[in-house]
Amino acid sequence: MNKEEELKTTHQPVLGKKRIEALDYYRGFAILGIFMVNILVMNVSFAFREEWEAEQTGWLNQATFFILQTIFYSKFFAIFSLLFGMGIALQMQKTSNKSILFFLKRFGTLFIFGIMHILFIWSGDILHLYALLGILLLFFFKLPARYLLWSAIFIFLFPFFGDIINWFLNWLSFDNYSYITSYTREDLIELKRNGSYWSGVKLRIKEYSFALQILHAYIAPVALSLMLVGGYIVKKGIVFNLQEFAQRITKPLLITTGVLIIYRFTLLYYILPVHEPEWGSLLSITLHTIYQLSDVAISFLLLWTLTICYHQKYMLKILSPLKYVGRMAFTNYILQSVFGYIIMRTFGYYETFSVFECFILVLLFFGFQVVLSKMYLKYFKFGPLEWLWRILSYGKLFSIKKKIINDIRNRTTNH
């Protein structure tokens, strides 16, 4: 095989049986969990989140908060970061060593998608951050597997990202919080419900600025560390033997996660209500880091549970709807933002839903996404945004229609 043929073989989208189907289930699962968290941010601004949460009284809302905090908050973006790292590592294994320009183009287009998402739909985008971190992965994934794991541990435990970002923003004389705190809660409600589209664009820029420190000082390091773990899983070949690996780690995972969950509940319900250490102190950093570790442990426990269920025939049938959403994860992620925009802004329901109603809203819309994705994938190979991303990344046009459409069309023509 000559060099040109090799490049043609390696730079191709993954289709059909070449896909690791379990990853589609994981992605679908992650998309559900991410929307459970995002819908709350769409429903009420971060600036007034605590005030809104205090208003969510009643056992139903309190039970929903408990479920969200225990199972959803900070868990599913960790899962999606792990899967993103695995996906990039798998793709790098299939491409030539001189494919860095291809990946730069791929991440560049993803970054543009993310910025457009922020400007035109929702300020809580994660795609642009993944694109930036993806560039770092190009260099990290050249390292042996053990260095990826040690790098992930170091980045996760490094306590000074917040201080570095804070120093940098101060050096720029950039007060990112002032962009939103200058608004009253009533101002935001009025803008969200009745403001013009252009006022919405300007507001989304301010909302993004408000979240800038949290995004890059706290979310980005955790996301990068999980992406590196994803690369480690691929390099060690674990991704091709997920069931065996899940069975092998059962005992240590359950014990570790159990201990961390006990710590988590002790911290939240017994320590912090009585004594909250000074933010930035060694005690505060230690308590927060272990708390983050409990989030990651629960994320792994969720994936472990899904892996065990995936290899049980009766459970696989129940879980099968996840794979349709997972195969169109990019499209479905953006579709959720479009839905949130229509509900909260176009129809003017911003800050009208309780936390329990948000929970139900997500389940209903995710059910719609399952049906829509399943029907769509009967006739098309890729989700529409996945298809567009491929065209921009590979620099050529791919057929999006499945062969069945052409066969039906030919039979109709012949008759």
* Rounded to 5°, angle at Cα 326 from 324 and 331: 95
Q: For residue 401, what are the β-bridge partners?
A: 380
Do residues 228 and 296 lie in contact, with contact meaning Cβ atoms separated by under 8 Å? no
φ, ψ of residue 380 in degrees (nearest 5): -130, 150
Spatial CA neighbour of 148 closest among 238, 218, 219, 215:
238
pTM for the whole thing? Answer: 0.90
| Separation of CA 331 from chain center | 13
CA atoms of 237 and 378, how far apart (whole Å)? 31
How many residues comprise the chain? 415
Encode the chain (415 residues) as per-residue pLDDT tens digits: 443 344 344 445 544 445 689 999 999 999 999 999 999 999 999 889 999 999 999 999 999 999 999 999 999 999 999 999 999 999 998 876 557 889 999 999 999 999 999 999 999 999 999 999 999 999 999 999 999 999 999 999 999 898 899 898 889 888 888 888 889 999 999 999 999 999 999 999 999 999 998 899 999 999 999 999 999 999 999 999 999 999 999 999 999 999 999 999 999 999 999 988 888 788 999 999 999 999 999 999 999 999 999 989 889 999 999 999 999 999 999 999 999 999 999 999 999 999 999 999 999 999 999 999 999 999 999 999 999 999 999 889 999 998 765 555 555 555 5
Alpha carbons 209 and 205: distance in angstroms, whole number: 6
Give me the pLDDT at residue 353, please.
Answer: 97
Q: What is the pLDDT of residue 405?
A: 52
* Among 281, 273, 384, residue whose Cα is nearest residue 327: 384
Domain map of the chain by residue range? 3-240+312-414
